[in-house]
Structure 1
């Protein structure tokens, strides 16, 4: 498997051209680009520029509105519901989080549900917007129905990621950004491109039998919840996924469960939608609404220091703080560039040809 490394500015310029070619206003194109590039910089390759062809595919099917009228449709002093007008989730979610942050500045916390949106990239991007304001950030979204609940042999939930982000003092923020499935679909896509098997416990075939084939979803199989199966706590992942689905969509008026319009190419939207688009849920909490921010960040540093000093089973291993690997990737890739495998580079070059913009390489 060959890699090509690209300077971050080069990838940023290419990605921006793609969104401009879609018809996005310059500010929206710049924001959408920033969300995807932050993913690649943080080492979350499944949600970075490799996703570009998916957004273009949906746009060509008129499932993404490049010039949405994003607006508040319901509001109280501390809450709001935003209608994304079918826009890129990469643009809609930051719009909603900024509303949550502004409400938190005045009232201590702000909570925004989103309807009629699309795939919003990594949840961590949006939660970190609150961290920049000395706030705790929360973001989550529902997603393509690819996950079978515990005991089920039917795809009813998405990978439904959730993120909690906490500022620290001398350390980088603690960022808990994860799918509520055993693995995100993007991990299977990476395995498909590399022609490698997936670990046991990630997926089951159409008969409900565990499988290590990364193509299982296309054959009618399903992902498993966090915990993998009933004997290893899958009911906990199922419960977390259900909470994300309810907060993101039942609360906002978006589609939920099996009615969520899919991002993946091998599924078509249901003919009987129960809402509009997909949904997100975003929140911001002012730390000084609970205690002085400096005190909180001092104790966050103490928390991190103690966990990093934990005794480990293997002396060559250490306890990893949530968000620590992504921060290290971000520092490294900002200097050394972003690696992309051949399959992704070829896909992006084909996309450039379709849109009549300069190739990536």
Structure 2
């Protein structure tokens, strides 16, 4: 195991650095601020794999001509409660929040709003977009397809992405209940973290190219594939495969984005496959007004009661309490907003190199 060290950075200074990188890419200021907010939110919530550690990846895609810094994001099909949006190859970090804003506006008028997006790119953490609805006393939902790394049950071929899905529910005195998860046994970002730390991953995350279980964090690089949520058929991998398929269909088949094995790879040195059936990555976002079902105060009161009852459930030996969806992320954000954001040494070095190449000042650690 390699020696692991961290440096901690002030949140606002790291945000400014991230904005500056996007500005160097030619992204307009408002969009650069929005994109930076999405990445910083990931780091604040402890989802280190989807924060500023991804910044170099976006830059490389831009240099390859696969990210349009000034997209014409537009509605191409619409009803009072639904729309399909063409992201014009823009940053998913910008396209998805703008699509969710349209979903919220439709929900304000029609009770719910549903947006399918094509021609986009990686959109960061799904929770950022779903939680936008919570601020308006709405239930938010967001999902996206992704680069094919996951083999369906009974297969060794990469056919689906990790295809995350998120639901966010407003509450009263408690933090919002936020379920944000990959539909694979593990998100690819967790493999990247394991690679940086030079440690093995748990059984059931990856199979090698022959379909055998492996704990090698570099298994994907050696031709293997991630497994669906459930890991194998005996433990319900068919359910993870079905969930990933739903995300792919709603995000891409419905919108006109590319799907399945044709989803463009996040890494710049790999080009999209020929004969693309659609355009870019796809997302699906939704917002539902709580007061379309019952008064908001009543709902929040019962959400608080729901949280309290689950937190006081009898626990198994060795465990103190049930963890509510979104609770660890809320705890991380409460701590990091004041203490700063810790970055592993390999990420720090990568960002320093990026700063030099882009002629941007990299902040000093706290």
TM-score class, shorter-chain normalisation, is over 0.9
1:117 match:
120
Residues 206-239 of structure 1, C-alpha deviations (whole Å, 9 max, x = no match): 1111111111111110000000011110000000
CA contact (8 A) 2:61 2:267 kept: no
CA distance in 2, matches of 1:135, 1:196: 41
| Structure 1 residue corresponding to 2:263, chosen from 253, 260, 263 | 260
CA contact (8 A) 1:352 1:360 kept: no
1:52 match:
55
SS in 1 for 2:245: helix
Q: CA deviation at 1:359?
A: 2.4
SS in 1 for 2:221: helix
2:287 match:
284
Q: CA deviation at 1:272?
A: 1.6
TM-score, normalised to structure 2, is: 0.98
2:213 match:
210
2:344 match:
341
CA distance in 2, matches of 1:86, 1:304: 40
Matches within 5 A, 1:70-81: 70-81=73-84
RMSD after superposition: 0.8
Deviant stretches of 4+, over 4 Å: none
1:355 match:
358
CA distance in 2, matches of 1:265, 1:360: 26
The yes-or-no answer on 1:321 pairing with 2:324 is yes
Q: CA deviation at 1:52?
A: 0.2
Structure 2 unaligned spans of 5+? none
Residues 162-204 of structure 1, C-alpha deviations (whole Å, 9 max, x = no match): 0000000000000000000000100000000010101100001
CA distance in 2, matches of 1:77, 1:108: 10
CA distance in 2, matches of 1:129, 1:209: 41
| Structure 2 residue corresponding to 1:225, chosen from 203, 213, 228 | 228
Structure 1 unaligned spans of 5+? none
CA contact (8 A) 2:165 2:181 kept: yes
The yes-or-no answer on 1:167 pairing with 2:170 is yes
Q: CA deviation at 1:161?
A: 0.1
| Structure 2 residue corresponding to 1:39, chosen from 33, 42, 53 | 42
Q: CA deviation at 1:269?
A: 1.2
